[in-house]
Amino acid sequence: MPTISEKILAKASGNDKVEAGDIVIADIDIAMTHDLTGPLSVESFNKIGAEDVWDPTKIVIPFDHQVPADSIDSANNHIIMRKFVEEYNIENFYDVNAGVCHQILPEKGHVVPGDVIVGADSHTCTHGALGAFSTGIGSTDMAMVFAEGNLWFKVPETNRFNITGKLKENVYAKDVILNIIGKVGADGSTYKACEFAGETVSDMSVSDRMVLCNMAIEMGGKTGLVEPDQKTIDYVEKRSNKPYQVFKTDLDSSSLNIIDIDVSDLEPQIACPHNVDNVKPVSEVDQEIDQVFLGSCTNGRLSDLRDAAKILKGNKVSKGTRMLVIPASQEIYMKALDEGLIKIFVEAGALVSAPCCGPCLGGHTGIIGPDEVSLSTSNRNFKGRQGSPDGKVFLSSAAVAAASAIAGKIVAPGE
């Protein structure tokens, strides 16, 4: 009996059934590239002599990594992509004010259950939170998708994380996924679909499910997935008029490995330098910090801003610590304005920036210098990820980030 991934890839490849390990050629429903990876895709597209893109309505191009342009090189990248958009009549183009690609795609209705989605960005696995098979690919592979509209895949096996237990106060989806990665390791799901299921996931919002799927790649996953339920359908139908198909995993599938996770006693988690699977409970981490980054495609959503603002209200960011807040999209930014969250951040002493990836990639605003320490709500903490290779990056939830900004060191909310 098939898993979600097997069912979606069977549909997309025109087969009645496929099994883990099979090689298939699957039709692509949505292809995404952005300002950083896009120029190489365009260069490769031109080299193969393609006369046109396969479907300009199925290509999505957001600018989010280096926006607004911070160098002549990044400005030139923007020019290249704008020319490509104009030449091939790409309908779904989001310029420098829209937000982070992995927030834009679901927010603007490009993601629906049952789709095959590829993006020239490793965290494209985020979109599996809506029941799509979504994965990152290389820029040159993207050129072939632009030209042909399909791509080969090896059908993955599946690790299904059956998550049970009610989360304690101040424990969030970010803590759950960091804990899982710490348990299985950075290679614990290499080229496997990572399904997140169980009562804990059922209780989560779609935004929280995106957090889980976003970080599937950090344990080697090919994609992250959550079976669609009524929350999924409500989210999708509010944003999209695209047809969709709901698939669910058959629990007797031969390619399915079920891993039980009980989060009843989980406390806030911290990923310590310089690997995402170097995870410890916050109570075991004693670390002063120079910078706090609240944002990214992992934790820059409205719920994250609310969690942080609740803690920061009436407090001040510690002297000697700077805090950078970057909403994941313009829509989130506007809602945060309407709710007064931006004012709370500014009054607390944080710097609020326009929607973009910020320091996450280490190539734009807010990077850290030698020997500086960043506490970040993003998804990676490798050497040099947020600037200097001599700096250190710790990962946490939005609530821990806010509490730590006040304390000037890594602490749990309430300490």
Per-residue tens of pLDDT for the chain, all 415 residues: 799 999 999 999 999 999 999 999 999 999 999 999 999 999 999 999 888 999 999 999 999 988 898 889 999 999 999 999 999 999 999 999 999 999 999 999 999 999 999 999 999 999 999 999 999 999 999 999 999 999 999 999 999 999 999 999 999 999 999 999 999 999 999 999 999 999 999 999 999 999 999 999 999 999 999 999 999 999 999 999 999 999 999 998 989 999 999 999 999 999 999 999 999 999 999 999 999 999 999 999 999 999 999 999 999 999 999 999 999 999 999 999 999 999 999 999 999 999 988 888 887 788 889 999 999 999 989 888 878 888 999 999 999 999 999 999 999 998 7
pLDDT of 46 reads: 93
Place of tokens 């009645």: 16
DSSP 52: S
On whether the CB atoms of residues 66 and 95 are closer than 8 A, the answer is: no
Q: Answer yes or no: are the C-beta atoms of 204 and 198 closer than 8 Å.
A: no
Q: How far apart are CA 163 and CA 260, in angstroms?
A: 6
Residue 326 neighbours by CB under 8 Å, 6+ apart: 293, 294, 295, 296, 300, 352, 353, 354, 355, 356, 357, 358, 366
Which residue type does 99 have?
Answer: G
Supply the pLDDT for residue 388. Answer: 85
Burial 299-315 (b: 16+ CB within 10 A, else e): bbbbbbbbbbbebbeeb
Q: Computed from CA positions of residues 188, 194, 196, 197, in that sequence, does the dihedral angle turn out positive or negative?
A: negative
Give this prediction's pTM. Answer: 0.92
pLDDT the model gives residue 86? 96
